[in-house]
């Protein structure tokens, strides 16, 4: 099965890293996309 994960905030990287690892270990294809945003100043 294919999974697509969209990262919209830097903290989400840490939230999803274990999920991605587990899905890939189970033989799934995982695609992660990130959106660049301006940081608050």
Beta bridge partners of 33: 6
Q: Is 30 exposed, middle or buried (0-12, 13-18, 19+ CB in 10 A)?
A: middle
Q: What is the pLDDT of residue 41?
A: 53
7 neighbors 36 (Cβ within 8 angstroms): no
**Global confidence as pTM:** 0.72
In this prediction, residue 39 carries a pLDDT of 65
Measured in degrees and rounded to the nearest 5, phi and psi for residue 39 equal: -85, 155
- pLDDT attached to residue 40: 52
Gap between the terminal Cα atoms of the chain: 40
Element (H, E) at 11: helix 11-25
Question: What pLDDT, in 10s, does the model give residues 1-38?
Answer: 999 999 988 888 889 999 999 999 999 999 999 887 77
């Amino acid at each position: 099965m294919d999974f697509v994960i969209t990262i919209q905030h830097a903290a989400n990287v840490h939230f999803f890293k274990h999920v991605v690892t587990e899905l890939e270990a189970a033989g799934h294809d995982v695609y992660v996309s990130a959106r660049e945003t301006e940081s608050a100043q």
